[in-house]
Amino acid sequence: QVRLVESGGGSVQAGGSLTLSCAASGYSGSSLCMAWFRQAPGKTREDVAAIYVGGNAKHYADSVKGRFTISQDSAKNTVYLRMNRLKPDDTGMYYCAADECPGYGLGTTPYEYNYWGQGTQVTVSS
């Protein structure tokens, strides 16, 4: 059974930083892609960043490019999301997702991931 455990959310003021982490266990597929999505109240879940675990491919949503960095510890099947220069618009529940990497590259929509963490809240105040 695949299990994703997230940590690192919290409350910060605009301009501050947070680092989220997500550890995957129980996965036995041939490749592993992991991603972060977020969802604000009343809004749909949107992609934030994705990474090919054990590889070099990364993806960032336009809204976070230059501010967020996704990284990995492939030996631990763990990914991190370093969030700098946070804005109030970054507020939401952040979810980690994982699945076998699609043949065309990184998945960037929620429909491409079957395994999800419980979510961690990020609140950015102005």
* pLDDT score of 28: 87
| Region label for 29, one of left (φ > 0), alpha (ψ between -120 and 50) or beta (otherwise) | beta
The token duo for 109 is: 């929509």
Mean pLDDT of 56-67: 96
Confidence of residue 29 (pLDDT cuts 50, 70, 90): confident
- CA distances (Å), 12 to each of 15, 67, 109, in order? 8, 15, 27
Average pLDDT over residues 40-47: 94
d(CA 111, CA 87): 27
Choose between 30 and 124: higher pLDDT.
124
Return the residue matching tokens 């043949």: 103
Q: Quick one: pLDDT band at residue 73, thresholds 50, 70, 90?
A: very high
Asked if the model's pLDDT at residue 30 lies above 90, the reply is no
Q: What is the mean pLDDT of the chain?
A: 95
Mean pLDDT confidence for 97-107: 90
